[in-house]
Amino acid sequence: MPLKERDKPWIFRTYAGHSTAADSNRLYRTNLAKGQTGLSVAFDLPTQTGYDPDHALSRGEVGKVGVPIAHLGDMRRLFDGIPLEKMNTSMTINATAPWLLALYAAAADEQGADRKGLQGTTQNDIIKEYLSRGTYVFPPAPSMRLTTDVIAWTYREMPKWNPMNVCSYHLQEAGATPVQELAFALATAVAVLDGMKASGAIPAAEFPEAVSRISFFVNAGMRFVTEICKMRAFTRLWDEICETRYGVADPKFRRFRYGVQVNSLGLTEPQPENNVYRILIEMLAVTLSRDARARAVQLPAWNEALGLPRPWDQQWSLRMQQILAYETDLLDYADIFAGSKEIEAKVEALCAEARDELARIDAMGGAVAAVESSYMKQKLVESNSKRLEGIEAGDQVVVGVNRFLETEPSPLTGGDGSILTVPEHVEAEAIEGLKAWRAGRDELAVRRALTELKAAAAEGRNIMEPSIACAKAGVTTGEWGETLRIVFGEYRAPTGVGRAQRDAGGDLAAVRSAVERVSGRLGRRLKFLVGKPGLDGHSNGAEQIAVRARDCGMEVVYEGIRLTPAQIVNAALEEGVHVVGLSILSGSHLALVRDVMERMRASGLEDVPVVVGGIIPPEDERALKAMGVAAVYTPKNFQLTDIMADVVRIVEAGEARAA
């Protein structure tokens, strides 16, 4: 039976931001004019990890995967002409979420907006950063405290704001199974709410309402029926947790509220036009079931496996949402899966397995303990290994990648401007702008504000108001980050590689034999350094390369994410490695690889071959090889064992030349 009144559509978003605040502002206003109903802001890696554009670790990263926001002036430009009181703004920010929310609140104050009317979301899920995306800064305990500060402050000051998106999206990107996505995300929510309750920052009688402001950000993959059932399982399990663990009696406060970006991991570089169908199918998984429908949807562009999407590419994804919402009868009916025996059986099976996994994590002491012990990270590395082995073996079909490879040349990917690139001058201009900002501010006011921020952090007081005061005084992102680093320290999360267990998928015997042969000629075990220079925290590829190299018999040096080129070259020198592999997915490969190559030559390591992996356009691949890079691997090179064989051949050829 049709509904008496048609449902309202979800919020339409595209995830966007790059180059400069002014460029991103133009893009936002254009997208809003095309019918987008909410903003989803992507920040660059220095902003996400609390560095200014002129920091050594920011080299090559400024404006690449998002917009650089170094101070209040940048935030003003980002939202120029966009009334924040009328906008629903999602900000993908985690370790520095209090700071970016402080800048947002300061910008809204300048616009004359009522804070109590501001609507939107700060992602603010630090646990998944330790597991998948890598933009953590501080150790788990103070990071969880900062999350609590944001929740408590927004509850009082910005009651319509969602202070946290429990983010299972990146768990799936890191290889999580549906059960792991359910359990790890819900365990994160429990850890945050337990900490919130223990803090006493919100009166017990008002705690259920605070629970209702916790939202989720999920992923949807290609296993269409499973994804529908996963979302229905999420709603059921969250309702149970809210009622039984926290005593939330009002059903509306137990509602599972979530936004979604569908799977970017599954987008393919070969035959990228096929990604349009993948994106549509994945969107259906989170919109068809009325009882578990997303509140907001943002879709990747069809060509994101190739590079940054152009405005036209983002428009294509926006139109996909609008056609489903306005041209079909989807919003006219009640839940079309209610009463289905198949759906109910699958939902309950997922719930049962997720409850068991939640109990295991709870017995360990909760999500933070499961991070610190590397349990969750290890499980994700194992799951991702199995996923990749299935693709390599052909058991998991990916059209255009391991089956149906024959193709016509695509008219969509040819010619100049087929993907968007960030000009090299953006970084230099950001640094000059930062210098001008510092020169024009009141340094005494800045020092006072930072002193108060440091005191609040050290004394355990809520840091939101001191952070807003810092924003208004002209403090920069790097200064805010450095102040809290002094108080809390920095953290390096476990890689999960050392303990990850996997079956030897595929035939490794030939590669193992080659490793033994070459190691014999070298006089010691072939040693492979896997490095992640810069601020790119997407470590999945590096982890899988490290695991496969180890399983092929190589000695592997992998120290995790966020290393400077100098640190990588120093490790290569000290460890006496035979080959260096660099993994860079942020688009910063040219600047970072150039730096590494120059430092290796200066250190006498010019005979040590360097291989590079990432999302690298053909013209950049040619430039990297002109620098002396021995091989470049992109997402189309999905056969990891073949990559290992290639690496061994490169080392062997170099050894033969040296002999």
Residue 503, pLDDT > 60, answer no
pLDDT digits (tens, 9 = 90+) for 200-255: 999 999 999 999 999 999 999 999 999 999 999 999 999 999 999 999 999 999 99
* Distance (Å, whole) CA 376 – CA 559: 18
Catalytic residue among 18, 170, 346, 377: 170
Angle at 270 between CA 265 and CA 275, to 5 degrees: 55
- Establish whether 169 is a catalytic residue: yes
pLDDT digits (tens, 9 = 90+) for 250-274: 999 999 999 999 988 889 999 999 9
* Distance (Å, whole) CA 96 – CA 467: 11
Query: How many beta carbons lie within 10 A of that of residue 433, not counting itself?
Result: 19
Phi, psi (rounded to 5 degrees) for 7: -65, 150
Residue 463, pLDDT > 70, answer yes
Share of the chain above pLDDT 70, in %: 97
Average pLDDT value over all residues in the chain: 93
pLDDT digits (tens, 9 = 90+) for 92-126: 999 999 999 999 999 999 999 999 999 999 999 99
* pLDDT (0 to 100) of residue 422: 84
Catalytic residue among 28, 130, 155, 169: 169
Catalytic residue among 18, 230, 346, 532: 532
pTM score, whole prediction: 0.89
* Distance (Å, whole) CA 658 – CA 606: 12
pLDDT digits (tens, 9 = 90+) for 28-61: 999 999 999 999 999 999 999 999 999 999 999 9
Residue 15, pLDDT > 80, answer yes
- What is the per-residue DSSP string for 596-635? HHHHHHHTT-TTS-EEEEES--HHHHHHHHHHT-SEEE-T
- Establish whether 55 is a catalytic residue: no
* Distance (Å, whole) CA 104 – CA 657: 58
* pLDDT (0 to 100) of residue 505: 47
Mean pLDDT along residues 431-454: 98
Q: Name the DSSP class of 496.
A: S
* pLDDT (0 to 100) of residue 266: 86
Nearest CA to 103 out of 459, 477, 448 is that of 477
- Establish whether 291 is a catalytic residue: no
* Distance (Å, whole) CA 108 – CA 247: 35
Catalytic residue among 536, 551, 595, 620: 536
Mean pLDDT along residues 593-622: 94
Mean pLDDT along residues 643-650: 96
- Establish whether 578 is a catalytic residue: no
Catalytic residue among 64, 71, 538, 578: 538
Residue 327, pLDDT > 70, answer yes
* Distance (Å, whole) CA 265 – CA 96: 25
Structure tokens at 72: 């209040």
